[in-house]
Amino acid sequence: MSSKRTLVAVLLATLWATSSLSPASAETAAKPPAPAPATQAQIDRNGLLILLRNALSALDQANKTGNYTVLRDQAAPGFAAANNPARLGEIFAYLRRDKVDLSGALVMEPQLTVMPEITQNGMLHFAGFFPSASSRLNFEMLFAPVDGQWRLFGLGANLGSAAPAAPVPPPAPAPAPGAKKDEKKPPKP
């Protein structure tokens, strides 16, 4: 499951719990509205690293123990209401199944691909990855303001390729019908 799909799954579950939509009516509803414009977040790098590493550490411990209670209880009330520990276990089962160790995020430097921004509904959003030699850990996070603190509202994480893949060259053009092949004769001794 991709990071975006995981984040969307967690966010949809949260939206169902905090709105009048039920999961069934949300599935049959028309396309979701276009994302609202965001503004740059005023958060320093250390604050961002604390949020990022705390969330990934909680997810890593939950995956290793199979207990998602602490991850759920640290999150924003809307996230907690929409996601019981069993549901979080289902959402992140692919990380457990693949035995993904997220603890490297505690010491590696993240590379941001989406700079911290405040969404129109007042949430902090950012995304990026932790590079490593063999693979990279991609992440996307959303935090809600709760009592003057940022609390986890959406989380996506997955492993991706460590290096960008080289483009595949197009196949060589086929000779035109009736065209003679350029036959090269072997050199004379």
Residue 182 lies in a domain: no
Residue 90 lies in a domain: yes
- Please tell me the pTM assigned to this model: 0.67
Residue 23 lies in a domain: no
Q: What is the pLDDT of residues 61-82, one digit of tens each?
A: 999 999 999 999 999 999 999 9
Encode the chain in three state secondary structure: CCHHHHHHHHHHHHHHHHCCCCHHHHHHCCCCCCCCCCEECCCCHHHHHHHHHHHHHHHHHHHHHCCCHHHHHHCCHHHHHHCCHHHHHHHCHHHHHCCCCCHHHHCCCCEEEEEEEECCCCCEEEEEEECCCCEEEEEEEEEEEECCEEEEEEEEEEEEECCCCCCCCCCCCCCCCCCCCCCCCCCCC
How many structural domains compose the chain? Answer: 1
Residue 30 lies in a domain: no
Q: Which residues of the chain have pLDDT under 50?
A: 1-33
**What residues make up the domain containing 121?**
3-18+39-161
Q: Residue 73 maps to which CATH number? A: 3.10.450.630
Residue 176 lies in a domain: no
Q: Residue 42's pLDDT is what?
A: 84
Residue 25 lies in a domain: no
Residue 34 lies in a domain: no
Q: Residue 106's pLDDT is what?
A: 85
Q: What is the pLDDT of residues 25-49, one digit of tens each?
A: 233 233 444 555 678 878 889 999 9
Residue 188 lies in a domain: no
